[in-house]
A = this chain, B = another copy of it.
Amino acid sequence: MTTYRRIVLAARPEGAVKPEHFRLEERPIPAVPDGHLLVRNRFMSLDPYMRGAMNDRKSYRQPQAIGETMVGGTVGEVIESRHPKFKVGDVVVGGFGWQEIGLSDGGGGLRRVDASRVPMQAFLGVAGMPGVTAWVGLNRIIAPKAGETVVVSAASGAVGSVVGQLAKAHGCRVVGVAGGAAKCATVVDEFGFDACVDYKAGRLEADLAAATPDGIDGYFENVGGAVLDAVLARMNAFGRIAVCGLIAGYNDEPIPVHQFRSVLTNRLKIQGFIVSEVPDAWPPALAELAAKVADGSLKYKETVARGIASAPAAFIGLLRGENLGKQLVSLD
């Protein structure tokens, strides 16, 4: 093997993402300079934030450069090392993006993980960035008390499914919102939520009201749009909303919020956050999440696409909500 493949951003989408916005390239495997290591990526993570990075406008991250490797988290094995702290065979989580190989000087957040008790790809999901995202939004912003009602959108996803399970462990009534009967069944039957509202069923307000008879105290926002409005209308006094994602607007379509008045009438706190900016939360969150995965008390689902060439279609599917749980690409 002397070459590897990567996917670069070929063009910025105007509206919906399409396959032609990506380009598959073949490149020679680089030589490993002193102090560096080479990683064979085994899994790539696909996440909604990547859609935002594809736009060339102010956001919380630099725009993804045209012609450069698509950004993203990866997990893989060290296959060559000239770095004192890593050896061949180490399993490492990094941010090598959409490519089969990664060259690193050991910085950039690269970290060795213990894949003996937890499957390595879990460090991209439930025991990785999405899991920590759930932990931070729930514990640092929503801060739920036992007996309160917590609602989570995109409830079957990598973040939402963890939010609900952690909130349940806090003694809350936990209600998910997801698209379709199959996802809702998973949310209730496998992730243990008390109820799940299928927003595609056309009765969002009525179903949400039935599922939250005591109103809503905490909301973990992954979606935006109509779900946010429906939730705002049912928030209780002093409710908290953690804004983690707004998938409904990633394609630049307007997403007006009609129930903003609830912020005043119910004295709500709404806070947006980016998990990478809360570094002190990572060690306790990762420790708790990995322990719960290992002992089986924290469930997770994966949707795995095979081979790097499948990544664009899998990503487009993710934005459409076609995945169940964490969307991964395996590179075996």
Using CB atoms and an 8 Å cutoff, list the residues of chain A in contact with chain B.
52, 58-60, 224, 228, 237, 243-246, 249, 254-258, 260-261, 263-274, 277
Contact = CB atoms under 8 A, between A and B. Distances in A.
Given A60-B237, A237-B60, A266 B258 contact: no
Contacts of A272: 263-269
A244 B249 CA distance: 27
Contact of A255 (B224, B249, B261, B269): B261
A280 to B, nearest CB: 16
A249, A265, A272 — which one has the most chain B CB atoms within 10 A of its CB? Answer: A272
Contact of A254 (B244, B258, B266, B274): B258
* Residue from A58, A256, A264, A274 whose CB has the most chain B CB atoms within 10 Å: A264
A252 to B, nearest CB: 10
Contacts of A268: 270-272
Contacts of A271: 263, 267-270
14 contacts: A52-B265, A60-B237, A60-B267, A228-B260, A243-B264, A246-B260, A256-B260, A257-B257, A263-B272, A267-B272, A267-B274, A269-B269, A269-B272, A270-B271
Ranked 7 nearest A-B pairs via Cβ: A256-B256, A263-B272, A270-B270, A264-B272, A257-B257, A267-B272, A257-B260
A81 to B, nearest CB: 37
A12 to B, nearest CB: 17
Contact of A265 (B59, B224, B261): B59
Nearest to A264: B272
A270 B267 contact: no
A272 B264 CA distance: 5
B224 A266 contact: no
Contacts of A257: 256-257, 260
A209 to B, nearest CB: 13
A35 B193 CA distance: 56
B260 A255 contact: yes
Contacts of A59: 265
Given A256-B258, A260-B224, A58 B265 contact: yes
A269 B58 CA distance: 18
A246 B266 CA distance: 13
A263 to B, nearest CB: 4
A314 to B, nearest CB: 23
A246 B268 CA distance: 14
Given A258-B256, A268-B272, A263 B243 contact: yes
A42 to B, nearest CB: 31
